[in-house]
Amino acid sequence: MPIIYSKPIVQTTIFPTPTTNPSGFPSRVADWLTNACDNYLRIDHWKTSNDGLYSTSRYGERVNAHINRMPVEILGEIFIHCLGEIDPARTGSSPTSLSPSPLADPQTLGEVCRFWRDVTLSTPSLWSKIWIYQPQRSQVRRVEMWLNRSREYPLNIRIIQLPGGVTHDNHAAADKILSLLVGQVHRWRRIHFRFGSTAQEPLLTLPVGAATNMESAYVDMWKWDQASADQFWKICFSSPSLRHADWVSYTKKPPNYVPWTQLTSITLYHGLTVEECMSILQGCRHLEALCIHAIWTYDSLVDPYGPLTLPSLRHLSFLGYVEGTAIFNRLTLPSLTSLEISNAHPHHHHERRSCMSFRNLLQRSACRLEKLRLFNTSISPSDLHNYLSTPQMLSLLELDLEAPVTNQTIHSLTLSDNPRQPHLLPNLEAISLNEICTSDGSISDMILSRLSPKSNTPLKSARLWLKAQTHIRDISVFQNIMENNNWVHVVVT
């Protein structure tokens, strides 16, 4: 159930400040660009209120003197960084823009002056991301323009057509847009299709082997018939470059023509048993990322042949009501650095069993976990402590908890000079805490303890959700911290 936040104290990103970012030209450019991004979005105000900052360009327009002294190639790279840093989930979407975010549209950059327009038009990668939400007729000509301006640069395409409110015009617009994109199938690098209507005919005209450069395919086609879905997936799987496949609402069982050996990232859905999952993973020796949704765990919890080793797997996710025990017991993951457990099993005795299997997995794998995201609204403080106190968690750098955070947990995360007090996660650099159920002052004490010079790795990022009525002292402390730091993000509810 989503939470609505009523009053954000500060609206800043949680990226490190330039002082905590490694030195180097690309990093410094990215830092500068983050601070300058708002100026790009206030073009009219910028041009009229800063007369002293402009000189005349060779086009007779007033433009910023300093930035336009840069070589065109460098300015183009800055624009690329600008568009690449925007998170579309954070900034929303627009029915008129094809950019991942309307706040990062290359057309907006091109409206500053003719010089900037020339730079955007000479940088095809700026136009290579085409994101469309609910296709409309007005977007057809825009898609054609973006395809022309992207030239032969590989395409990242996302089309989302939600089932509610899909009209005949939406369906017709989707077909016209897809017809344009099909003509550039050799340029498809990543596709993300969610169709809320029946099979889009232009996609079915593609021959097997046409998408030669496709690396990633996410396709959700809940209204498609089995034959049409099968036909399109054969086109995707025929790409020798394909490394990631995510087929949603396709079938209860993965098709038998999937090239498992070449895939490095997969998502498993739809009621597969543990035995079926393990059979698939046997053929995925090069797997680097695995996401598992809603598998059946009624089969045996112990593999008679011993754990399967996936030597390259770095990221593992359990989403939906999946108990991790059956999978944890059957894997050895020496390269694992990132783990996400979301909507874990709500029964406490299952949680304890899953936690023990989690600890055994990390110890057996001898891995160095760096990121952990745990979503479980019913986990007990003792079970949460068991997760966080695993010896392999000493290397953890990022922690994202959407679980009840009590005084017991915060006390264990608070660093002190007392050698008798056990400290969890001493190397933590980023923390995100939701569902905070602590006494006032304990959260701020924990954060301050990790800002101390005595800390091995001072905290660089914090995202916290606090209640206004019960965390008055905490909020006051964070307001003072945020006067000198922009890496703390606090939301008051």
Determine the Cα–Cα distance for residues 319 and 340; give it in Å rounded to an integer. 8
Question: Residue 321's pLDDT band (boundaries 50, 70, 90)?
Answer: low
Across 22-26, 73-77, 193-197, 211-215, least confident range:
22-26
pLDDT at 479 over 70: yes
Question: Is a pLDDT exceeding 90 seen at residue 110?
Answer: no
Domain count, the chain: 1
User: Is 437 among the domain residues?
Assistant: no
Let me know if residue 180 belongs to a domain: yes
328 found inside a domain:
no
| The model's pTM | 0.79
Across 129-148, average pLDDT? 92
Domain annotation covers residue 237 = yes
Residue 394 backbone phi and psi in degrees, to 5: -60, -25
Residue range(s) defining the domain that contains residue 137:
128-253
How far apart CA 136 and CA 151 sit, in angstroms, is 23
> Does residue 181 sit within a domain?
yes
pLDDT, tens only, 230-267? 899 999 999 999 999 987 755 567 778 899 999 999 98
**What would the mean pLDDT of 214-226 be, rounded to a whole number?**
89
Q: Please state the rounded mean pLDDT for residues 139-163.
A: 93
Q: Give the per-residue pLDDT at 249.
A: 59
Which residue from 221, 143, 158 is spatially nearest to 189, judged by alpha carbons?
158
Q: Which of 307, 200, 218, 338 is nearest to 269 (CA)?
A: 218
Amino acid letter, residue 302: V
Select the more confidently predicted residue: 378 or 432.
432
User: Which single residue is written with the structure tokens 């947990």?
Assistant: 409
483: pLDDT strictly greater than 90:
no
DSSP β-ladder status, 315-319 and 129-133: unpaired
pLDDT, tens digit (0-9, with 9 covering 90-100), for 440-468? 999 999 999 998 776 778 898 899 999 88
Query: Is 330 among the domain residues?
Result: no
pLDDT at 28 over 80: no
Token pair belonging to 326? 């059956």
Cβ density class 265-303: b for 16+ within 10 Å, e for less: bbbbbeebebebbbebbeebebbbbbbbbebebeeebee
pLDDT of residue 22: 34
Lowest mean pLDDT among 36-45, 112-121, 463-472: 36-45
Tokens representing 285 are 């020796």
d(C-alpha 395, C-alpha 159), whole Å: 39
Q: Which residue has the tokens 């099979």?
A: 199
Q: What is the pLDDT of residue 422?
A: 73
Distance CA 203, CA 219 (A): 12
**Between 365 and 116, the higher pLDDT residue:** 365
Residue 121 pLDDT level (bands cut at 50, 70, 90): very high
- Write down the mean pLDDT value for the chain: 80
Mean pLDDT of 379-387: 90
| pLDDT surpassing 50 at residue 428 | yes
What's the pLDDT score for residue 275?
A: 83
- Asked if residue 203 belongs to a domain, the reply is yes
Q: In whole angstroms, what separates CA 93 from the centre of its chain?
A: 16
CA 351 – CA 345 distance, rounded (Å): 6
Is the Cβ–Cβ distance between 146 and 181 less than 8 Å? no
Bridge partners (DSSP) of residue 436 are 405
pLDDT for 488: 78
Sign of CA dihedral 365, 366, 368, 371: positive
Question: What local confidence, expressed as pLDDT, does residue 344 receive?
Answer: 53
Task: Tell me what the mean pLDDT of segment 278-289 comes to.
Answer: 92
Beta bridge partners of 398: 371, 430
Does 369 map to a domain?
no
Residue 491 confidence (pLDDT): 84
Instruction: Tell the burial category of 54 from Cβ atoms under 10 Å away from its Cβ (0-12, 13-18, 19+).
Output: middle
**Low-confidence winner among 79-93, 142-156, 263-277 (lowest mean pLDDT):** 79-93
Residue 308 has pLDDT above 80, yes or no: yes
How much is the pLDDT for 54?
41
pLDDT for position 26: 39
Q: Is residue 46 pLDDT above 50, yes or no?
A: no
d(CA 214, CA 235) in angstroms, rounded, equals 10
Between CA 398 and CA 430 the distance in angstroms is 5
